[in-house]
Amino acid sequence: MDSIIVGIIVIAAVGFSVRNFVKIYKGEGSCSCREGCTTCSSKGACKPDFSIVNKK
């Protein structure tokens, strides 16, 4: 019983972390640091119109 619960928790943690890192990699994830940090999903992600930068 113990092992099953632990197994589930560990798998959940792995799943959560992998998803988190994939999100960050794609520039959607929250980096949970101070605001002004544009990787935060709520504030527009790590992709603040890179088209603008490249357009130049």
Partner 1 sequence: MSAAIVLAGNPNSGKTTLFNELTGARQHVGNYPGVTVEKKQGTCPTESGKLTIVDLPGTYSLTAYSLEEVVARDFLVDENPSMVVDIVDASNLERNLYLTVQFMEMGLPVTIALNMMDVADKRRIKIDIEKLSKLLDVPVVPTIARKGKGKKELLTTISSHVENKIKPLNISYGRDIDTALDKMEEMIELSGFLTAKYRARWVAIKYFENDSQITELGKKADQKIASDLERVVEKVTDHLSATLDTHPEGMIADHRYGFINSILKQGVISYAQDRNRQQISDKIDRVVTNQFLGPIIMVAIIMGLYKFTFSYSEIPIGWFESFFGWMGGVADSALSDGLLKSLVISGIIDGVGGVLGFVPLIMFMFLGIAFLEDSGYLARMAFMLDRVFRMFGLHGSSVIAFIVSGGIAGGCAVPGVMAARTLKSPKERLATLLTVPFMNCGAKLPVFALLVAAFFSENEATVMLLITLISWVGALLVARLLRSTIIKGEATPFVMELPPYRLPTIKGILIHTWERTWQYIQKAGTVILGVSIILWAMMTFPGLDQTKIQEFENQRSVITSGVSSQILDELETIQGDQLSANALTVKESLTQVDFDEAHAGLKNSIAGRIGSSLEGITKFAGFDWRTNIALVGGFAAKEVVVSTLGTAYSMGEVDPEEITSLSDKLKAADGWGPLTAFSLILFTIFYAPCFVTVVCIAKEAGSWKWAGFSVVFNTALAFGVSVLFYQIGSIVL
Residues at the site binding partner 1, with contacts judged by CB under 8 A = 2-3, 5-6, 9-10, 13-14, 16-17, 20-21, 24-25, 27, 29, 31-39, 43-44, 46-50, 52-53, 55-56
CB proximity list for 21: less than 8 A, separation 6 or greater: 29
CB of 22 to partner 1, least distance (A): 11
CB of 8 to partner 1, least distance (A): 11
